[in-house]
Amino acid sequence: MSVKEGDVAPEFAMPASGGRTVSNAALRGKPYVLYFYPKADTPGCTKEACAFQEALPQLGRIGIDVIGVSPDKMKPIEKFSEKYQLTFPLASDESHAVAEKYGTWVEKSMYGRKYMGMERSTFLVDKAGKIARAWRKVSVTGHAAEVLAAAQGLT
C-alpha cells in the first residue's frame, strides 16, 4: 500500500528519542512532517536530520512538528539524536508496520542483491490529517528547504 497526496495519513504510534512516544492521535488538528530515513548516523541520514534541525525554528514558528522514522532499534536512535543534538523526536519503526502503511518499506537492490529497506520519503500532513505533500526517493540536498517552503504554503 502506498499513500498519496489527498489521502488521510495512516495511524501510527511509536517509541521515540528522549523517552517520548509519537502518534498521529497526539497531533490531531496540527500539521506535521513525517520523514522516513534508512539508518541512523549514516552520512545521508545525518545530513537530512541536521537540515531538519536547522529548519526547526522556522517550522516551529508556523506550528509544524517534525518526526523522523527509521527501522533502527531505540539505542542507535538515542545515540544519533544525542550526537547531533536533535531536539525533534526520532521514532523507531522496528517492525516497519508504519513504513508499510506509508509505502516506504520497499524492495531495494545493491550489487544485484535484492532486499527490503526504507525508502527515503517525506510526508507533509495538514491539520485535517490529510497528506498535503508526499516526496518519495528523496535527494537530501535542499530537501528540508523544499519541505519548509511547502509547509509555509499550508498556513
3, 34, 40, 45: which one is catalytic? Answer: 45
Q: Which domains does the chain have, with CATH numbers?
A: 13-152 (3.40.30.10)
Q: How many CB atoms lie within 10 A of CB 125?
A: 26
Give the span between the Cα atoms of 105 and 117, in whole angstroms: 6
Reported in sequence order, the residue ranges of the chain that DSSP labels E, i.e. its strands, are 13-16, 20-23, 32-36, 65-70, 90-92, 105-110, 113-118, 121-125, 131-135
22-52 pLDDT, tens digit per residue, is 999 999 999 999 999 999 999 999 999 999 9
Give the span between the Cα atoms of 43 and 56, in whole angstroms: 20
Give the span between the Cα atoms of 7 and 48, in whole angstroms: 25
The pLDDT score that the predictor gives to residue 2 is 79
Query: What residues contact 43, with CB distance under 8 A and at least 6 apart?
Result: none
83-92 pLDDT, tens digit per residue, is 999 999 999 9
The pLDDT score that the predictor gives to residue 155 is 64
Catalytic annotation on 50? no
C-alpha cell at 86: 536533535
Instruction: Residue 22: name the closest of 83, 70, 75 by CA.
Output: 70
The pLDDT score that the predictor gives to residue 105 is 96
Which residue positions in the chain have pLDDT lower than 70? 1, 155
The pLDDT score that the predictor gives to residue 128 is 95
